[in-house]
Amino acid sequence: MTTSFNRWWLMPIGILMMSAVISAGIVLLQPSFLGGASAEVAQANASANATVEAGGEPRDCSGASANDYACYQERYQVLVKGSGVEAAFTELKSEYDENEFIKAQCHQITHVIGRAANDMYGDIPSTYNKGDNFCWSGYYHGAMEAAVAKIGPEKILDTADTICDPLAEGDQKYSFYHYNCVHGLGHGFMGIQNNELFESLEVCDKMTDDWERESCYSGAFMENIMAKDNPSHPSKELRADEPLYPCTDVEEKYKPQCYLMQTSYALETQSYDFASVFELCGTVESEFRPTCYQSLGRDASGSTVSDVEETNANCMLGEDYEARSNCVIGAVKDFISYYSRDTEAKELCESFDADLREVCLDTAEEYYVVFEEPRSSV
């Protein structure tokens, strides 16, 4: 169980750091999934369905709408309903390198595609079979948000422990798709709990499997950071004057997943000064300090759009071997997550001196196993 879990624990939120850099100077409208989630999803899907039934075309999001998130949200909903999930991803991938706004909002747009797909297919296994890992697996997170919204806060406590069962059968147990299901639940629980982090973590606790609970925690903590710029429902558990909060205050069982996410926010509070956040991680309890450094390694990659030279330079700001080696571990995992291959990851590894190069290559070899395994039907 532990080996399987460690494969996935750094998959999320490299996108947050990348978006923060790419979107500088762009006024972003973050999606509002929180508050009345079920009604919002239903309304959005109804509008997309009506457009398709009327023979309408997806909205044109160029010109004055080039930086309008709501336009892209509607466009991709209509693309999914009218042309299918594959067509939506084909367009997204073709626009990714040409459109800075699309690149910055890519993870959230894949959430949109996942929510629309869940409305079309109705159940999690069918929706997941149409999925794509592009942009940090946001499709699967969005699908779970929609699934949780349909269940609603009144029934979610009774069903939390079984929602992902169809994705945990046979050799799928603790697989990438199983992980994305329970990680996505953490996002969904935050949605229906109106961004109440501690209440969402308690819902995650309803799961009887240790690995599922940990994966769910990661989704809740990720959403806590993602929602910080949501103008309608900003995060409630972030403190600029305490960059590592809430990790400093949560129960010990929550700390690993919290510290694994929190450096993305801490960097923002420190004007993206990696040396300062290395110092912050150095104050963390010894058993969680490596996790904090590995989280910073993910951000070293994410903030540079996985550039070898810049990622190397960021990790070398660590004051000692513990800091630098764990940063390297986090960075190389993010390289693989970003590119869905190990070519660039190996280039990163070769940029380090011998001691760190060995750690990097060993980590890359172990972590890349997930991307070499053939996808089995869920």
CB 175 within 8 A of CB 182: no
> Looking at the structure, do residues 218 and 242 belong to the same domain, yes or no?
no
The pLDDT score that the predictor gives to residue 2 is 37
> Looking at the structure, do residues 183 and 284 belong to the same domain, yes or no?
no
Within a domain: 194: yes
Cβ atoms within 10 Å, residue 140: 28
Distance of alpha carbon 349 from the chain centroid: 24
Within a domain: 35: yes
Closest to 266 in 3D by CA, of 310, 221, 309: 221
Domain boundary among 236, 255, 283: 236
Within a domain: 169: yes
The pLDDT score that the predictor gives to residue 371 is 54
Cis peptide upstream of residue 246 (ω within 30 degrees of 0): yes
> Looking at the structure, do residues 71 and 97 belong to the same domain, yes or no?
yes
Within a domain: 49: yes
**Crossing angle for the helix pair 14-22 and 100-121, nearest 10 degrees?**
140
Closest to 166 in 3D by CA, of 149, 187, 143: 143
Which two tokens mark 356? 């760190």
Cis peptide upstream of residue 231 (ω within 30 degrees of 0): no
Which two tokens mark 200? 């969402």
Helix (H, G, I), strand (E, B) or coil at 193: coil
> Looking at the structure, do residues 250 and 110 belong to the same domain, yes or no?
no
How far, in Å, CA of 187 to CA of 235, rounded?
A: 13
Query: How buried is 245 (Cβ within 10 angstroms: 0-12 exposed, 13-18 middle, 19+ buried)?
Result: middle
The pLDDT score that the predictor gives to residue 43 is 67
> Looking at the structure, do residues 167 and 293 belong to the same domain, yes or no?
no
How far, in Å, CA of 130 to CA of 55, rounded?
A: 24
The pLDDT score that the predictor gives to residue 37 is 47
Tell me the per-residue pLDDT of 252-263, one tens digit each, with 9 for 90 and over.
Answer: 999 999 999 999
Domain boundary among 204, 236, 268: 236
Backbone angles phi, psi at 189, to 5 degrees: -65, -40
How far, in Å, CA of 337 to CA of 334, rounded?
A: 5
The pLDDT score that the predictor gives to residue 184 is 85
Return the H-helix or E-strand segment holding 76.
Answer: helix 69-83
Within a domain: 1: no
Domain count across the chain: 2
Q: Which residues of the chain fall short of a pLDDT of 70?
A: 1-45, 54, 231, 370-378
Which two tokens mark 250? 């949560």
The pLDDT score that the predictor gives to residue 17 is 53
Domain boundary among 236, 265, 282: 236
Domain of residue 51, residue span: 31-236
How far, in Å, CA of 303 to CA of 173, rounded?
A: 32
pTM of the shown model: 0.81
> Looking at the structure, do residues 215 and 248 belong to the same domain, yes or no?
no
Query: How are the residues of the chain apportioned to helix, strand and coil, as percentages rounded to the nearest 5?
Result: 70, 0, 30
